[in-house]
Amino acid sequence: MLEIRFHGRGGQGAVVASELLAQAVFFDGKVAQSFPFFGVERRGAPVTAFTRIDDHPIELRSFIEHPDVVVVLDPGLLRDTPVTGGLKPGGLLLVNSPQAPGAFSLPQGGTLATVDATRIAVGRKVGTATMPVVNTAMLGALARVTGAFTEASLERAIVAFVPSHPEENRAAARDGAESVRMEPVAPSSRPSPPSEEAAPLPFPEGPVASLPSNILHTSSWRTLRPVIDRDRCTRCNFCWEFCPDDAFDFDAEGFPVVKLLYCKGCGICATECPPDAIQMVTEA
């Protein structure tokens, strides 16, 4: 059995990636199981999804604690989430990154692979420039580096189950397969992040649901930040009212100011602002 764990953020398509992978596996005549795990938070929150692949019926129903493969859709998660926790020695870590595999480490040894899925998604217009949906590019790369499912079946699954822009998504999958870079890495004495050893189940969502953002700084989730256009702002305070993380202060003139330490980039303030005075921009 091959066990794959996806780590992404809400809006990046981690859950759809695990489902599309399962469909591609079915088209290959194998058996697959896929399911997500996420907390109560919205866009920008960490999301975990799982896929099992086998030639025989799969009886297991548990979360995947010791995956053969970890797929990271947002490289920012590597900073503060133990995404490689439990990864089997000799396993594969595939990261969405423009950097070469050598920029990352895998102390237990195995294979590192990188693909610039964000650039591919933006170029193929999958999602938007500020919220590219990187899942199909990542799946194309995953097909190429694991050989666990065929690229033809992946494209078939995309056409059958992706309702929006299937041709662009197929192209993104092909780009991902063609541009993925892979390097075997020997076990090293380089220390792994402490949290990697400390957390056998690498799911940050539990504490997220139980702690307010002034204690658990969810700003580390942010891929987008709100920028306020003071010329349009009417000082109505709606943004402050709707922000789930109390991430607004006001300056001496009554204009809202975002407290970036607490802002997780969910975009609710931009959605609720009556005069569209808030734009969500990509984090530098």
Q: And the tokens for 19?
A: 């489902």
Minimum Å distance from CB 129 to ligand SF4? 17
Minimum Å distance from CB 222 to ligand SF4? 7
CB 94 within 8 A of CB 86: no
CB 14 within 8 A of CB 47: yes
Nearer to ligand SF4, 2 or 236 (CB): 236
The pairing of strands 181-185 and 69-72 is: unpaired
Nearer to ligand SF4, 89 or 275 (CB): 275
Nearer to ligand SF4, 44 or 82 (CB): 44
Minimum Å distance from CB 127 to ligand SF4? 18
Sign of the C-alpha dihedral computed for residues 89, 16, 165 and 160 taken in this order: positive
Minimum Å distance from CB 97 to ligand SF4? 24
Encode burial over 54-85: b for 16+ CB neighbours within 10 A, e otherwise. beeeeeeeeebeebbbbbbbbbbbbeebbbbb
Nearer to ligand SF4, 202 or 256 (CB): 256
Minimum Å distance from CB 117 to ligand SF4? 23
Q: Give phi and psi for 40, each to the nearest 5.
A: -85, -5
Where along the sequence are the contacts to ligand SF4 (CB under 6 A)? 226, 228, 233-239, 243, 245, 247, 256, 258, 263-269, 273, 275, 277-278
Nearer to ligand SF4, 138 or 258 (CB): 258
